[in-house]
Structure 1
Amino acid sequence: MLSVVVAPWGSGEPVFGRAADVRHYAASTMKVAVLAALHRSGVDLDAEVPVVNRFDSAVGGEFANSRDGDGDQLPWELLGGTAPLRSLAERMITHSSNLATNLCLAAVGPEAVAGVWRRAGATHSATPRGIEDAVAREAGVDNLVTARDLVRLLRSLDGEPELLALLERNAYRVDLAAGLPPGTRIAFKNGWVTGARHSVGVVYPDDCPPYLIAVCYTGPLASGHGTADPAARLVARISAAVWDRRRDVTARP
């Protein structure tokens, strides 16, 4: 299943949608909602928190992350010590750290993340559990997104330039970013697992106003590999096609 939504930044209202409200497993796109919840929570982002690998499951009991399955090893080097929430939030976005994500989620709680989705106007997306909470997932408690809701989520960050600036520092310049001319500004978050590949971003062309784009793909093309993934190339091709029509997108009222 392929879902696509494109919208001008100014209104956030889609000018193109394909399967916009179909739910997909969220993968790492849910980290944007966790980031917003953390920054809006009022917690001291410079406070040191214990770096642990034991978290409360959404259905009771505890679970842990797999180091081998995490694309960012830096937070793991701090295990048993402490780290500022601000630095954990940064690694969650720039290097998609799963361990840092669960530490940030533990600091604010799932209800705060649910509030972020509500504030964005999302209607089909939710983040009820941490990453790798396998027991909860087996019980039917899952992190889900739609392309329309991801666009709404990013649009809701208007007025929070520090969050958009952090999304611009995403180290994984694949998916949407790979479909743009070199050097094009994009604040985005991608996510992938075997069977799913998603990316949502706000693109800043030099010759017209910014626009929003979300692409969610669920299917056999998604190998789960970061760069050598056929689904990543599909997302890049869609990004390139929208770039070619960017003036049409941003000219809509």
Structure 2
Amino acid sequence: MAADDLHARLDREPGTVSVYAGPLGTPPAWTRHAEATHYAASTMKLSVLAALYRAAEVGHLDLDAPVQVVDRFTSARPDAPAYSCAREYDNDGAVWDRLGAHVTLRWLAGRMIVRSSNLATNLVLEHVGRAAVAEVWALAGARHSVTARGIEDFAAREAGVTNLVTAADLAALLDAVATGATRPGPIASPAGCTAMLDVLCAQQIRQDIAEGLPAGTRLAHKNGWVRGVRHGAAVVFPDDADAYLLVVCTTSSLGAPGGDRADAGARQLVADISARVWRARHDLGALTPAGSRAAPPPSRR
């Protein structure tokens, strides 16, 4: 699919499709509605992971200290009671099987990413704190993204407290981690960033962006979806080209009929965009349609 054909297809898609694509550490080669906000779904787990590793490096917690697996969490709405999350909506039974037992934060961080465990996410967020996550977004240079509550904190959601991302902000966070693995950066030391990349590369839910790549391609990624939302955020490491960032966020009407078919279509769309970017990996500038220019990246703070 030619670049102009891809843009024409995206123009016909219902809802909002945001894209950020480009090499690490440089302005993007192609953006489309990259500053539009989307409900974060499980991509918020990227910010929780970064906050955890940063907190460990500054001595606020120990990644290998045992913590108890519980299902009661502090709501982001101050007057609300503690809340729980539901096992039936989780992708990972391994954490639930350890209720009442003790595990390490490092293990929970892995389950949060590689199996997108909601319970693990809430446990890590409870220990790290929302302020630490906000600091990580700020250090990455994010402009609009916020991780304001845990998963299934319905009292906070009803009060308007939510988790938001943009394609540009997710790219900025991934860029800070990926480039931070080779030189000191704003999030963590090279060792800490390398450890985070290893977790992201161990992802077992290889959908969306991964489905548009040749089998075996190395990528550090996290996806997320709920009804009406399908996102993918990745650093792709080709063997024959420089690593690049690709973030695709899609949002359509949450109440639209045919939810399963719509989600399958959004998943395929993300995969198709990924495949097109892969084919242009030696010249990502070719993705920009004639007569247009990619927007500059968000500045780091």
TM-score of Structure 1 vs Structure 2, range by shorter chain: over 0.9
Say whether residues 1:17 and 2:50 are aligned partners: no
- Give CA deviations for 1:74-132 in whole Å, capped at 9, x if unaligned: 10001111111110000000000000000000111000000110010000000011011
Say whether residues 1:38 and 2:82 are aligned partners: no
Paired with 2:125 and 2:22, the residues of 1 have a C-alpha distance of 29
Say whether residues 1:246 and 2:281 are aligned partners: yes
Paired with 1:7 and 1:209, the residues of 2 have a C-alpha distance of 10
- Give CA deviations for 1:35-84 in whole Å, capped at 9, x if unaligned: 11111102111111111000000002211101111111110001111111
1:187-226 → structure 2 map (5 Å cutoff)? 187-219=220-252
2:210 match: 177
| Secondary structure at 1:217 match in 2 | strand
Residues 1:4 and 1:70: Cα distance change in structure 2 (over 3 Å):
same
Per the TM alignment, residue 15 of structure 1 is displaced from its structure 2 partner at its CA by 1.4
Paired with 2:38 and 2:235, the residues of 1 have a C-alpha distance of 20
CA-atom RMSD in angstroms: 1.8
2:268 match: 233
Paired with 2:152 and 2:248, the residues of 1 have a C-alpha distance of 23
Residues 1:170 and 1:217: Cα distance change in structure 2 (over 3 Å):
same
Is 2:30–2:285's contact at 8 Å kept on the other side of the alignment?
no
1:4 match: 19
| Secondary structure at 2:208 match in 1 | coil
2:171 match: 151
1:78 match: 98
2:131 match: 111
2:74 match: 56
1:87 match: 107
- The count of aligned residue pairs is 249
Is 1:54–1:63's contact at 8 Å kept on the other side of the alignment?
yes
Residues 1:224 and 1:207: Cα distance change in structure 2 (over 3 Å):
farther
Per the TM alignment, residue 10 of structure 1 is displaced from its structure 2 partner at its CA by 3.4
Which has the larger share of helix? 2
- Give CA deviations for 1:205-253 in whole Å, capped at 9, x if unaligned: 111100001000011589776xx7221111000000111111112899x
Q: Aligned partner of 1:213: which letter?
A: L
Residues 1:30 and 1:223: Cα distance change in structure 2 (over 3 Å):
farther
TM-score with structure 2 setting the length:
0.80
Residues 1:2 and 1:249: Cα distance change in structure 2 (over 3 Å):
same
TM-score with structure 1 setting the length:
0.94
Residues 1:223 and 1:122: Cα distance change in structure 2 (over 3 Å):
farther
Residues 1:219 and 1:41: Cα distance change in structure 2 (over 3 Å):
same
2:160 match: 140
Q: Radius of gyration: which is bigger?
A: 2
| Secondary structure at 1:155 match in 2 | helix
Which stretches in structure 1 are left out of the alignment for 5+ residues? none
